């Protein structure tokens, strides 16, 4: 079985806006602190930290790809009202009140997460050097390197029944949302020369102005292929 890939868009908790209210006995308004969650599990961890200011019995953990489970181990029923619907959406809930239970699991996959069921291919690194190269004086003057950026390209395969979920993630990538790309979904360690299949932090290359679907074997439409290229700022060693 080839290794399978996963992409998780990063999530920005904006100061004072990601609020939710937990009611268990009395109501407690919780506000998530400003900052980036680097992974989907990182979002769950922030929410769990907030919940545990009420009780250590609360937990919020990733239960499956793009889904979380929020629970009270008492178990004691509790209610969550989402002040900010985008946080509910990020966690895979529809934004309506969660009530009448001690455990809630996301009703849909988070739009931040895509876990491939088909192998992706042709993933390969590259480099872009920006230079200051005064052409007229090439024979005598020295060329300076202004910047070095690592790039990655890959041909992704998305099964027909996954396309809707892929579109959600692709939309975020296309507006420049940074993401963590697990080149082996079971390997969370950073990419390095000694861990070549490791995860890289990426943004869609600014040179990509559109994404095109290629459906091999049309009209069977079993899976689509897209060619993606990324810039990455991961560890360069």
Partner 1 sequence: MIQTYLQGRIFIYQAVTIRFTDTDSSATTDVVFAEHVSFDTVDLFAEHLQTTVQAVGGNFGDWTFSVLTASEASSVAGTLKIGTGNAGFQVDFNQGGATTGTGLRRYLGHNSDTISTGSSTYYFASKVQASFYPERGALSVVRNSTKYDRIQMMTIGGHSFSQFSKDTLDLPIIALRVSLQFNTEGDDYGELKIFELFLDAVFDYPNGGEPFSVTHGDDVYVVWFSGGDVVLEYARMIDGFNGAWQLELALETYTEN
For the chain, the residue count is 237
Residue 73 CB, nearest approach to partner 1 (Å): 45
- Decide: is 26 part of the binding site for partner 1 (CB under 8 A): no
- Per-residue string for binding with partner 1, 68-107, x by CB under 8 A? ----------------------------------------
> Segment 182-201, which members bind partner 1 (CB under 8 A)?
193-194, 196
d(CA 97, CA 89): 12
What is the DSSP secondary structure assignment for residue 199, as one 8-state letter? B
- Decide: is 227 part of the binding site for partner 1 (CB under 8 A): no
Q: Residue 86, SS3?
A: helix
Q: Applying CB under 8 A, which of residues 27, 144, 188, 189 lies at the interface with partner 1?
A: 144
Phi, psi (degrees; rounded to nearest 5) at 84: -115, 105
Contact present, 151 and 127 (Cβ < 8 Å): yes
Q: Applying CB under 8 A, which of residues 53, 99, 138, 213 lies at the interface with partner 1?
A: 138
- Decide: is 145 part of the binding site for partner 1 (CB under 8 A): yes
Concatenate the DSSP letters of all residues of 10-55 into one string.
-EEEPTTT-EEEEEESEEEEEEPPSEEESSHHHHHHHHHHHHTTT-
| Segment contacting partner 1 by CB under 8 A, of 127-135, 165-173, 182-190, 214-222 | 127-135
Q: Which residues bind partner 1 (CB under 8 A)?
A: 122, 124-131, 133, 138-139, 142-145, 148, 151, 153, 193-194, 196
């Amino acid at each position: 079985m080839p290794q399978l890939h996963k992409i998780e868009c990063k999530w920005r908790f904006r100061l004072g806006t990601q609020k939710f209210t937990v009611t268990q006995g009395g109501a407690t308004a919780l506000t998530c602190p400003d900052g980036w969650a680097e992974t989907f599990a990182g979002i769950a961890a922030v929410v769990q930290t907030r919940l545990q200011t009420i009780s250590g019995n609360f937990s919020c953990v990733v239960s499956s790809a793009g889904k979380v489970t929020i629970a009270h181990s008492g178990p004691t029923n509790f209610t969550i009202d989402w002040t900010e619907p985008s946080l509910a959406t990020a966690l895979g809930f529809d934004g309506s009140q969660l009530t009448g239970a001690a455990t809630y699991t996301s009703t849909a996959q988070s739009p931040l997460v895509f876990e491939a069921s088909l192998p992706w291919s042709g993933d390969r690194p590259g480099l872009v050097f920006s230079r200051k190269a005064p052409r007229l004086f090439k024979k005598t003057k020295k060329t300076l390197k202004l910047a070095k950026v690592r790039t990655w390209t890959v041909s992704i395969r998305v099964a027909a029944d996954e396309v809707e979920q892929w579109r959600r993630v692709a939309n975020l990538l296309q507006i420049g949302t940074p993401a963590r790309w697990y080149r082996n979904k079971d390997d969370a360690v950073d990419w390095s020369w000694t861990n070549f299949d490791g995860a890289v932090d990426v943004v869609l290359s600014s040179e990509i102005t559109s994404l095109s679907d290629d459906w091999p074997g049309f009209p069977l439409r079993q899976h689509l292929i897209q060619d993606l290229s990324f810039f990455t700022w991961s560890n360069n060693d």
